[in-house]
Each structure stands twice: as C-alpha cells, then as structure tokens.
Amino acid sequence: MSGLLAVAPLLAVAIGALIVLVLEAFTRPRRAEPLGYLSAAFLSVAAVLGARSWGRDYSGFGGQIVLDRTAVLLCVAMAVAGVFVVFMSLRYLPRRGMDRAEYYALLLFAVLGSMIMVSTTSLLVVFLGLEVLSVASYALAGLRKDDPRSVEAAVKYFLMGSFAAAFFVFGLAFLHGAAGGLEFGRVWGALGGAAAGPRAALWAGMALVVTGFGFKIALAPFHMWAPDVYEGAPTPVTAFFAVGPKLAGLAVLFRFLAPLGKGGGARPVLFWLVWAVAALTMVLGNFGALRQTNVKRLLAYSSIAHSGYILVAVLAADGAGLLFYLVAYLFMAGGAFAVLIAAERAGTNGGGISDLAGLGRTHPWLAAMFAVFLVSLAGFPPTAGFLAKFYVFSAAVRQGHVVLAVIAVLASLVSVYYYLKVVVVMYMREPGAAAVKVDRENPALDLVLFLCLVGVIQLGVWPGNLVILIRQAAAALF
C-alpha cells in the first residue's frame, strides 16, 4: 500500500496523459481546449495527492521511489507549473494554429518526467525520468512544424539532449562499476573506503553525471543551445522549459552533491569544478543578456544566470535557500512569460524589446505586472527575488564561499541593467507601428498573472508559512 501511495501523484499525471491521448481520437480538429482543462484537472489531482502525503514519507519499489517532504513540495510545485502552462496555452494555441490535443499529452508527460526525477534517490530512476522529460520536450519545442525557428529549436534541443544523455549514461557506468549500485548514499559511501583506482572512477563518474545535468539545465559552458530553443519554441513551452527542468534538475543535483558542500576544508576537485561552473554560469548568463534585443532570448540568458545563483545554494549545502529560490522562480518566470503571451502580436513567435514601447500607456496593468516580475528577477526588495538571493548569498558567506558570493552579487548587479531596460522601454518610449496587441478576454491567463503576482509579492513581504514548510522539506534533502 505504501508503494502505491508513493507513486499516486505520478500515476495521476500518467493516467491523465494517456486519457488525453485516447480522447484525441474523438476530438474535432482545432477543438482541443476541453482537453486542456482536463489536463489541468489531472495536474490538480496530482498536487492534492502529493499535499496529502506531507510528512508521511512513503516509499515503494524497494526504495527506488521516495515521496518525502522534498519530493512532495517539488511535485506540487511542478504540478502548479503545469497548470500555469496549460492556462497560458488555452488561447495561445488556437491563435497559432497549434490547437492539437497531443500538446497537452506531451506536457503531462514532461511534468511526469520531472516528478519522477525528484521522487527518487537512485541515479538510474533519475535517468528514466530525465529521458521522459527530454523526449516530450523535444516534441513540444518543434510542435509548430511550419515555423523554421521552432524546427531549429527542436533539432538543437534534441542534439544537445542526446549528448547530455550520453555523458550521463557514461557516468552511470563508472559509478555502478566502482560502487556496485546507483543510489546516492551507496555512491558516497563507496568513496569512503575505496582504493585509489575505484575512487578515481567514482569522481570521474560524478563529473560526467554533473556534465549531463549541465547540458540539460543550461549551465555554462553547456548553455549555448538555450537562447535559440527558448526563442524558437512556442512561448508557453518556453515558460515550461524555464521552470520545469530547472526545478527538477537543480533539486536532483542538490540531493546528489549535498556532501560536497559539507566536506570541510579539504575540497575534492569536483567541488571546484562545480564552483567554476556556478561562477561562469552567473557571469556568462548576465553578460549574454546585455546584448539581447528579443525578450525571449533575454529571459533565456536570465534563466541561465538564475541557474548559477541556485547552484551557489548547492555548493553552500543550503537546502532551504535552494527550495525557496526554486518556488520563487516559479512565480517570477511564470509571470514574466505569461505577460509575454498576453502581449505577443498575432502571427509572431516572440517580439523584440522595442515592440513593448508604450505598453505602460496602452496597457498599464500589464506593464505594471511585467515590471514587478522583472524587478523581482533582478532581486529588488520587497519581492520574492530579493529574499531568494539573500538566503542563498548569505548561506554562501556563512560556509566561507565569500569569493563566490561576491561574484554572485556583482553578476546580479549587472542584471539590473537589462531588466530595467525593458521597464524603460515600456514606460518611456512612444508606442510605434509594431506596438503589441493584447488579448483582453483571456480569463485563464489572467488567473495565472494574478497568482504569479500574489506569489511574488507575498513571498517577498510575508513568506513565513512557506518558509516553515520549506525548512521541513529541506531536512529531507540530506
């Protein structure tokens, strides 16, 4: 019974995806909106089943699936992200000629893969979840087959994902051969008593696994595919790419690499490699965003930079800071992409920053919400982004990573320029001929915008109750 309860949220999403696929055969072309609402209902059921499991620590399949507090929090967050993306898509897909039921089934499978990744402490199961997520994501990126940018996005994502999978599997072979298993605890336990040869194999395997994750979640220097994929994919899909894989991948990295942050003064080479990746990700992500004139590409580089900030929490072994940052980023990035969907011009796949000129005059509420999300991403108080960065950076200082914390603060200061550049264009430039048109009758999208705005403000002003839950969940990360 415990095993069934451990996979209950996963089963809800899997069953929903299969039902949507079957019902597609009975759905008239370009009338997939009811299946979107059905998908949101199954995701909501998964979130409720997960929340009801809080504190019970179910496990199944010989401990391969574990629904502890961390898994519950992240599964609920990813179910919420899935609902947000569904609501963003309901009106977007018909406008772009992509109103097909398989879109919602693929989205459910992608959410399922993310949930599998965070519900296990075995690298083999992590890999299975990662591939479920990846295969669905490749199809989602190229869903608009008549758009060359969408096809290019899918091809680039597939090629980079294939390289990432190869690195990951090669690392698993090293780890299994040296440790005799792929559970996180067994791998680290094998390091303690291993001879020089097996220990070298273990460190090599870990480095390859981290490299595979680096490709998947766009950590520098494995990030170059992300801007093209974010720009070419349909905007709701881009919103999922910015949130779903990041929540899953960085949470798994924390579970796997947490002992690195508690290693004391004698740090292994892997620690310094991850340290360099975090610093490089923050620097390249922010400086890459400075040159962008397309909003989606700008948010892509912003997403890369935020991966670097969150990686600081991994090195500082700050589970509470990491989980708070991931939840805050869900609302910040989700809200930003929801604004883009509301403001995109019909017939385009993502406008330039100049297209937002005068939005503060023509659509003041939409511009105000976008400004709040951008200010939060930049880390200004009193928003969720400020507290998220404060928790992570202060944890790095407490652990003695002062240089890394300084790099993070300076990189965050660089980000202020390109975030405020968008705000300046919205409020201080006259609207031109290419001014955006806003879908005024989109209640589902309005609900996403409202919930994201409330999340960003509440987590910045009064995060008390969520912080208590996050601290309880963070204990399970170790």
| DSSP character string of 17-84 | HHHHHHHHTTSPTT--HHHHHHHHHHHHHHHHHHHHTTTT-EEETTTTEEE-HHHHHHHHHHHHHHHH
Region of poorest pLDDT, from 26-30, 36-40, 94-98, 184-188: 26-30
Q: Is residue 434 pLDDT above 80, yes or no? A: no
Q: Residue 95: left (phi > 0), alpha (psi -120 to 50), or beta?
A: alpha
Q: Is residue 54 pLDDT above 70, yes or no? A: yes
Average predicted confidence (pLDDT) for the chain:
87
CA distance 79 to 293: 32
* DSSP 8-class letter at 98: -
Q: Are 153 and 300 in contact (CB under 8 A)?
A: no
Could you give phi then psi for residue 418, rounded to 5 degrees? -80, -25
Q: Are 435 and 358 in contact (CB under 8 A)?
A: yes
Q: Residue 218: left (phi > 0), alpha (psi -120 to 50), or beta?
A: left
CA distance 443 to 33: 13
Q: Is residue 433 pLDDT above 60, yes or no? A: no
CA distance 151 to 229: 9
Contacts of 352 (CB under 8 A, 6+ apart): 293, 294, 295
CA distance 288 to 97: 32
- Structure-model confidence comparison of residues 267 and 333, the more confident one: 333
Contacts of 268 (CB under 8 A, 6+ apart): 203, 260
Total structural domains within the chain: 1
pLDDT category of residue 277 using cuts at 50, 70 and 90: very high
Q: Are 399 and 263 in contact (CB under 8 A)?
A: no
On the 0-12 / 13-18 / 19+ scale of CB atoms within 10 A, 148 is exposed
Average pLDDT over residues 118-129: 91
Average pLDDT over residues 434-443: 67
Render pLDDT for 196-237 as a digit per residue (tens, 0 to 9).
Answer: 667 888 888 988 998 988 888 889 888 888 888 998 888 999
Render pLDDT for 361-380 as a digit per residue (tens, 0 to 9).
Answer: 888 899 999 999 999 999 99
Q: Is the dihedral of CA 389, 394, 399, 400 positive or negative?
A: positive
Cβ atoms within 10 Å, residue 456: 27
What percentage of residues in the chain have a pLDDT greater than 70? 92
Q: Would the pTM count as exceeding 0.95?
A: no
pLDDT attached to residue 145? 78
Of 167, 174, 162, 229, nearest to 198 (Cα)? 174
Q: Is residue 478 pLDDT above 80, yes or no? A: no
Secondary structure (H, E, C), 149-178 = HHHHHHHHHHHHHHHHHHHHHHHHHHHHHH
Domain housing 279: 2-476
Range from 60-64, 149-153, 358-362, 406-410 that averages highest in pLDDT: 406-410
CA distance 169 to 182: 11
Q: Is the dihedral of CA 9, 13, 19, 23 positive or negative?
A: positive
